[in-house]
Amino acid sequence: MTLPPPRETPPSWVDSMVTTASGAVGGPWGKRAVRPLQSFWTPVRVLLALATLTLLLGFGEKYPCSDGQWSGHKQYTHACYSDVVPLWGVERLSDGAVPYRDHAVEYPVLTGGFMWASAELTRGWQSMAESGWLPVASDLSIFSLITCIGLAIFGLLTVRAIAGAAGHRPYDAAIVALSPLLVFHAFSNWDLIAMAMSACGLWAWARNRPMLAGVLIGLGAAAKLYPSILLLALMILAVRTAIVRPAVLAIVGAAASWLLVNLPIALTWTEGWKEFYTFSQERSAEASTVWYIGNYLESFGLGSGVPEAVYPNTEVAVAVAAAMGAVVVLGLKAPTKPRLAQLVFLCAFAFLITTKVWSPQFSLWLVPLLALARPRWRGALLWQASEIAVWILTLLWLIGYDDPNRAITYPWLMGALILRDAILFVLAGLIVREMWRPELDVVRIGGVDDPGGGPFDGAPDRWRLGGRRDADADDVIDGNGPRLESAAFEGATSGGAGSGGPGLEAGTETIAGRPA
């Protein structure tokens, strides 16, 4: 038995890179193709299998550095650096210290708890190894392994959640499952914890579970603060649709879960708990930020040197607020109600481009958000290639602190950073364009409104900045999403005249009709 063809437009019809890649398995989805009724390899299982392979590659990429034997700058020359290795000792996990009680940890509580649990499991492993039940290895190697296993679980959860949040387009999560950036940064730090919580929050919201979504967002903020920006996107759409109660429930749930995790530690070990916030305030601008770039250019131009550290706390606060305000204006002024994922991506990008700390692995945050906001492979891969270049050049630049003769100078890294930022600005601009012209948004093909919008999906657009909605918006929007009435979209949804593929032009990627 078979199921009917999918009601959504297959990605091999609307994404030129997917169309080309599909040639390895017989070509694009045909006009009369059908799905088997029963198959073990469901889309989600395929995605999880692909993500497992990617995470295994990521583990292999970090493995040469996992024992901490970093002679000859191996952590830089092999590009296998991970914060997990040095922080085993720096955070006194190797001594059995309890985070926040015995040592002030520079991470939020949920991340600190994960680090402590991994350290305790390491000691349990070693006890069993002494009895011959498990292989013998150094404490650091075991700690690295256990940390990677735990983070890999969060990575798989992220992929599963993004597939769920994508609704009728679960295969968009392949952008996460096959992410090259995941290979390099899945195990660079503990960011996958917050990523999984925020992705699950988006999934819960898409399933109309606002309180659960808020709880998960709050847990994410207890691991890294950035998931809290999801709440801003919810508030923007709550204003546009006049559907306020779910957003309020999410905010209450987020506050409750964050307090539930943080209050016991804050009240019991106040000084240790405060370390993350104190450390964040006292940090100077990192080399990957616009603040450092501006300071360097002012000090040396394109020459070589080490500029004085800058601490632009007030300027950063103003810039972050202004950037978030710009997203609010865009979200409220767009002629068509934006999709939730579009606003979330813009909020995350606005934060990263204006903050004073942009560690290389922070860019991972954007991968699942881009998969939902603009699921187009070409742009996603081009941006991630620039991120990998930034990572490699950062490591080659860091060698200079010990061996300047083997290192590159900062202007080389600065060039890669400016290119990376420019690509992200282009991606953000394309997302804004699709907010203004929803017929270019591949997610909305076929009359879909917002598969991840939850309570906002299909809701009427009640209010728009400026006091009214544009007449053009009335022409393309009804209660169920955009009416894709152009000849191009008719070709996409019908398979094109005399072809098994589309005659679709969406955005900047055009695909001619193809035989079935």
Residue 346 tokens, joined: 């813009």
d(CA 484, CA 40): 34
Residue 254 tokens, joined: 């987020």
Q: Phi/psi at 110 (nearest 5 deg)?
A: -65, -35
pLDDT at 402: 82
Per-residue model confidence as pLDDT tens for the chain (516 residues)? 344 444 556 676 766 677 776 676 667 766 666 666 677 888 999 999 999 999 999 999 999 999 999 988 999 999 999 999 999 999 999 999 999 999 999 999 999 999 999 999 999 999 999 999 999 999 999 999 999 999 999 999 999 999 999 998 999 999 999 999 999 999 999 999 999 999 999 999 999 999 999 999 999 999 999 999 999 999 999 999 999 999 999 999 999 999 999 999 999 999 999 999 999 999 999 999 999 999 999 999 988 888 889 999 999 999 999 999 999 999 999 999 999 999 999 999 999 999 999 999 999 999 999 999 999 999 999 999 999 999 999 999 999 888 888 889 999 999 999 999 999 999 999 999 999 999 999 999 888 999 999 999 999 999 998 865 544 444 434 444 444 333 333 333 333 333 333 333 333 333 333 333
pLDDT at 14: 66
Helix (H, G, I), strand (E, B) or coil at 511: strand
Encoded amino acid at 14, one letter: V
pLDDT at 406: 83
Q: Evaluate whether 475 touches 485 at the Cβ level (below 8 Å).
A: no
Residue 319 tokens, joined: 């810039």
- Say which residues have a Cβ less than 8 Å from residue 247's Cβ, sequence separation at least 6: 210, 231, 234, 235, 237, 238
